[in-house]
Every structure is written in structure tokens, then in C-alpha cells.
Amino acid sequence: MSNPYNKDYPISWEELHRNARALAWRLLDQGPWKGIIAITRGGLVPAAIIARELDIRLIDTICISSYDQLETGVEASKQGELKLLKGFDGDGEGFLLIDDLVDTGKTAAAVRAMVPKATFATVYAKPAGKPTVDMYITEVSQDTWIRFPWDMAQSFATPIADLQD
């Protein structure tokens, strides 16, 4: 299987926090909100930041798995079959549905079908997934692998020019 990701976009904790706060600013005037539904696992950190900024105390989750990690690591991860581990009772009315990223839109479409009345917001969005969310902060190209801070350890970074070989 060939790797569809040609670009690498590492995100720091500070950048993620700043972007999640920017998303909270956009969501502020659309409330009041009953609560947040975080899509696990990636939506947990942005949901916590947004909950703090909007003073939301009720946080629930939809637990769904969509990526299979192959033996060679994250770079070879691929989107596989969706597995619902925990759903949400209700149609989502008055709730924010939060995730870190919308990629192909496959997971987003499945989750949106579960809670069609929730307002769906992500911190990052790729072109294929943008139509499935109501709001996002940063768009990245479809061929970019986003490296979230919880997936990284500090190490040497190869200069971009050296990657062209």
C-alpha cells in the first residue's frame, strides 16, 4: 500500500491550544450549549479546552475507531472499518460535537448521522471532510499527515530540503 501523505505537519501543544481557543471564540455566540460530545480519542483535548473557555460542565463522548495502524507505524496508518464502541443517547440538539480533525469525512458522516442536530466543529479540516462539519479553524491539504502533540516525542527534525531526495 502506498502512503497517501506527502507532507508532514507537526502541531505543538501551544498551537493546538491557541486554535482550540479560536474555535471556542467562534462558538461562543452560537450558544447557550447544553454540553459537549467529544469524539474519542482526538476530540478529547480540544473538547476540554473548549469546555473551559465556554464554561461547559457536561461532557459526553462518542467512541469510534477508524484508523488501523500497520506494523510500520503511524506513517502507514490507514482508515479502516468504522467500529462504534460507545454512542450517544439523543439527537444532539443543543450540543457541540468536537473532534481534532476531519479528514476524509467518513467518520464525521457516521457520527453526524448519530447526532444530526449537534453543531459539529473541528480544529483542523481537510478538503474532503470540510462539507461534513459546521465549523473549523485551520485547513490543511488532503495529502498532509497531521502530527498531534500527544503522538510525538521530541527528536531531530530532518530539514525539508533533505527530504526531496
Query: How many residues does the structure list for the chain?
Result: 165
| Count of beta carbons in the 10 Å neighbourhood of residue 24 | 21
Catalytic residue among 100, 134, 143, 151: 100
Is 99 among the catalytic positions?
Answer: yes
Which conformational region is residue 34 in: left (phi greater than 0), alpha (psi within -120 to 50 degrees), or beta? Answer: alpha
The closest alpha carbon to 143, from 99, 106, 103, belongs to 103
Catalytic residue among 8, 99, 151, 165: 99
Is 100 among the catalytic positions?
Answer: yes
With a CB cutoff of 8 Å and minimum separation 6, the contacts of 29 are: none
Catalytic residue among 60, 89, 103, 134: 103
Catalytic residues: 99-100, 103
